[in-house]
Amino acid sequence: MHLPPSTNSKKPQDLFLVCGLQSLGQHCVAVLKEYDVRVNAIDDVPPENCEVPEVPSLLEKLIVGDCRQPSVLEQAGIGECRSILLVTRNERINIEAAFAARRLNPHVRLIVRSDKQNFNKLLSENLGNFVAFEPTHLSAHAYALASLGSEAIGYFTLEGQLLQVIKHQVQAKDSWCNGKPVHRLNLTTRRILSHTTVSSDPLKELFEWNPEAEVQVGDTLVYIDVAYELALSEQHTNKSYRQSWHWQEFLQGITAKNLKQKIVQLWQSYYQSQNQIRRIATIYAITVLILWLVAIVLYRLYYPDINLQEAFYGTAVLLLGGYGDLFGGVKFKSQPEPSIDMPWWLRLFSLGLTLTGQAFVGVLYALVTDALVTSRFHFFNSRPPIPQRNHVVIIGLNRLGQRVAALLQELNQPLVGIHDTTLDQETLPDMPLIVGNTAEALTKVNFSRAKSIVLLGDDNMENLEIGLMAHGINPATSLIIRSQDRHFSDNIAPLFPYAQVLCGAALSAEVFACAAFGENVLSLFHLSEQIVMVTEYKIEEGDTLNGLLLSEIASGYSVVQILYYKYRRDNYSLMPWYDVKLYAGDRLIVLATSSSLQRIEWGEMLPRQWSVQIEKALTTNAVMYGAEEIVLITGCSLATARQWMNNLPGVLPIPLYKHQAQRLVRALTKIQVLANVIFIG
């Protein structure tokens, strides 16, 4: 996807237009103003009782009218707009307004609220500079992850690999991190986002942590890593593969050497894909068949004059419970009194056949009864039973609730839904559902053993009321409350610290606003009361990122680079190291907060307040290798670096970021150059 470059002017006073001042539109206005830009708005009615009270004062101009009308768009300044955010609650209005805006301004960036994924893709290809989001999908990930109550606070996929963001409190048994400097925890598959000690407050920036600090028990680490074997799609694939292993695959490529292995694989596949009664029936059927064949052979051996047909039917009579019939009057041709002349062991074997056959008939009855009961249950209620423990309870199965439930099912998380009305059978058919009054429903969902409860209703007060009631029933259960008002969230969260109060509109507005500046937001997650966005940049001439080292971008803008694409190359670098310089045509995916994206937009890098004092080089080779390390980490020319190394001791005359300076000192120390970090700010 082609992305417009970030502007290289400082704090541009661009004009942005927001169409639709419902909840999402109001939050978009508030977020855009944090970027210090001008914002106009269009709405069909003047806003009353704003969820974001300061919205009227934040707007340069408010036009009341239909945003699909060219005259209304022109009155709102569409001709000079950098981006237009079409966020009304009607998809048709948003798309029609996008057509009108593109006709009036061929260069305006279109940010559309729409859930028509295929249509949106076609519009993006034909209109250009077009992006569409559905707020429900954006915020659903945050609610789903919060409900899991695990260390994983974010999931997303890049280049077919599942990446997870982990928030971990260090334990004494954590040998991989306990007692080690933070910088040593960075690997090609792991990148540290933050490190906070027990006594310190959560960090406000991603790069505020000290790389040289030793990790202690009780510290909190937030890091991103590649979850190779945790990819849920692989689990589903393996499960489907096992269940689809059938006779054709058994017969394909079979040889005398692998016959035993093939039989074991076939049995394992069948055993894992059937319920218990069917497995017992299969075992009995195989046993009966073997006994039938053995009996035929034995009767033919003991009574050589009987034919195969008589032996076959005689055994069948025994298996069907006819022991008394056979030995009470039924006689073989060659032996008028089989009950007298038959050896005791063969007669006992015959009795065993009757008992085995009777048991097999009982199993068949059980199998038929189970099938009838199951079909009757599916006829009246096709939903599965309520989980017994460690499940998530979702209250309010509106569009957001259904999306959250679908995400949790993808993560194989047991859950149960509570809704005031019945859902269609096609809607989440694999989810247990309780219909009716919420207070009564909580007594039916095994709430005392639930992992968490997620309240996603459309009424803030009702969500809070049910949440407090649920906390009273089970204080140990995690509580996630949906809010449609950011101020309501800010006021409630400190009063009820055991609850996570998330405002869906505020979460989505961050993505819409960032997209308005040209960034491609791929995903987001919540960290220390901040929204961290997975954002893609395509570097172009004049871009604020062009010509910078990744280490400068990371420290200067407080972002974490996780994927780097070199221009005109097919390969990519996951968790790239810091010594790569960006050029036009390269692509970079980073984790960034809203403030970080603002700094990139304005080109405002944090000040470089550190440098490196080099005392001496202990060997002749250290001078040469030291110059190479300086070039690699600082980006200066090789001639300049050699000049500095030939005039020791001295302080490098270029300011660096703290992480840069510390990396350079560590690199110089390894090649026997004595150096230390100094503060020059």
Encode pLDDT of 436-465 as tens digits: 888 888 888 988 889 999 999 988 899 999
Contact predicate 20/509, CB 8 Å: no
Most confident option among 98-112, 183-197, 417-431? 98-112
More confident residue, 159 or 278: 159
Give the residue with greater pLDDT, 284 vs 62.
62
Average pLDDT over residues 197-226: 85
Place of tokens 């670098």: 573
Question: Residues 594, 538: contact at Cβ < 8 Å?
Answer: no
pLDDT of residue 267 exceeding 60, the answer is no
pLDDT at 272 over 50: no
| Mean pLDDT computed over 408-420 | 89
User: What's the whole-number mean pLDDT along residues 11-37?
Assistant: 85
Q: What is the pLDDT confidence band of residue 76, given thresholds at 50, 70 and 90?
A: very high
Question: Which two tokens mark 33?
Answer: 């103003």
Averaged pLDDT, 209-228:
88
Burial 288-315 (b: 16+ CB within 10 A, else e): beebbeebbebbbebbeebeeebbeebb
What band does 221 get if pLDDT is binned at 50, 70 and 90?
Answer: very high
Residue 182 has pLDDT above 70, yes or no: yes
User: What is the rounded CA–CA span in Å between residue 96 and residue 568?
Assistant: 37
pLDDT confidence of residue 366? 72
Preceding peptide of 649 cis, ω within 30°: yes
Residue 236 has pLDDT above 70, yes or no: no
Q: What are phi and psi of 261, to 5 degrees?
A: -65, -40
Mean pLDDT value across residues 28-46: 89
Residue 335 has pLDDT above 50, yes or no: no
Task: Please name the residue ranges forming H helices in 3-116.
Answer: 23-33, 55-58, 70-75, 91-104
**Which of 15-24, 163-172, 303-312, 621-630 is least confident?**
303-312
Instruction: Tell me the percentage of the chain whose pLDDT exceeds 90.
Output: 36
CB neighbour class for 644 (10 Å; exposed up to 12, middle 13-18, buried from 19): buried
- Whether the CB-CB separation of 629 and 549 falls below 8 Å is answered with no
pLDDT single digits (tens) 570-595: 778 888 888 889 999 999 999 998 88
Using 50, 70 and 90 to split pLDDT, how confident is the model at 229?
Answer: very low
What single-letter amino acid sits at 77? Answer: G
pLDDT at 645 over 90: yes
Distance CA 446, CA 432 (A): 12
Find the length of the chain: 681
Tell me what pLDDT residue 93 has: 95
Helix (H) or strand (E) holding 309: helix 308-319
Radius of gyration from C-alpha coordinates of the chain: 35
Q: What is the pTM of this model?
A: 0.63
Dmax (CA) for the chain in angstroms is 120
Q: Is the pLDDT of residue 337 over 70?
A: no
**What band does 9 get if pLDDT is binned at 50, 70 and 90?**
very low
CA distance 632 to 667: 10
Give the 3-state secondary structure of residue 11: coil
What is the rounded average pLDDT of the residues 514-527? 81
pLDDT score for 147? 87
The answer to whether the beta carbons of residues 139 and 502 sit under 8 Å apart is: yes
Look over the chain and give the mean of its residue pLDDT values, rounded to a whole number.
81
Query: What backbone torsions phi and psi does residue 559 show, to the nearest 5 degrees?
Result: -125, 165
Percent of the chain with pLDDT over 70: 84
Q: Is the confidence at residue 606, as pLDDT, over 70?
A: yes
